[in-house]
Amino acid sequence: MHRAAYSVLELLVCLALALVVCGSAAPVLIASRDGVRAIGATDFLVAQLHAARMEALKRRSHVALRFETDGDDYLLAVYVDGNGNGIRASDIIAGIDSLLRPRERLDQQFAGVGFGFEDGVPDVDGTDALDNRDPIRVGRSRMLSFSPTGTSSTGTVYLHGRGRRQLAVRVLGGTGRIRSLTFDFGAQRWQPR
């Protein structure tokens, strides 16, 4: 009785082919993972803004998401108005406007994603002078504040990830509407997500 079997050479050839296929798929998988992280970070930021708006409505008080510098990055901090005059940097320093929850860094949850611009990307309005590359465009106080009536301050925050991923989150003041956008490098324009 003769049994069919594979030789060691045949097994090595199959193993080599499998490694070549896996090796060629790895960059695609890594790029996909990096894209998912960038989108996840954008969705996280949008959720933080929605939560701040809902908190303002629930408390009937101003609530703000503040971007606090931390080296070359930013911490996200949520504050509530303590004296009825809106969120103010001086009131935060004095302890009048209080922190609602612990500060967070975006890159702690989404590795490789940060605030900033990829090279050659214009701002959402197309008015960006390339010398102004500040990714947090929400005013001098670096806060997006929501009122008890649902309106907000206006601003845009820019995020980027590995593999040329550029995203933006915009808050429209009069309505408090929050939108996320992505930059299409092929078409060279911003598109809604």
The string of DSSP letters for the chain reads -------HHHHHHHHHHHHHHHHHHHHHHHHHHHHHHHHHHHHHHHHHHHHHHHHHHHHTS-EEEEEEEETTEEEEEEEE-SSSS---HHHHHHTSSEE-S--EEHHHHSTT-EES--TTPPPTTS---TT---SEESTTTTEEEE-TTS-B--EEEEEEETTTEEEEEEEETTTTEEEEEEEETTTTEEEE-
pTM for this entry: 0.80
**What pLDDT is attached to residue 32?**
56
pLDDT per residue over 124-144, tens digit each?
887 765 456 789 999 888 999
**What pLDDT is attached to residue 65?**
96
Pair of tokens at residue 74: 């930013």
Domain limits of the chain?
32-192
**What pLDDT is attached to residue 29?**
45
**What pLDDT is attached to residue 152?**
94
Positions in the chain whose pLDDT score sits under 70 = 1-2, 11, 18, 21-33, 128-132
Phi, psi of 39 (to 5 degrees): -65, -40
**What pLDDT is attached to residue 23?**
67
Domain 32-192 has CATH 3.55.40.10: yes
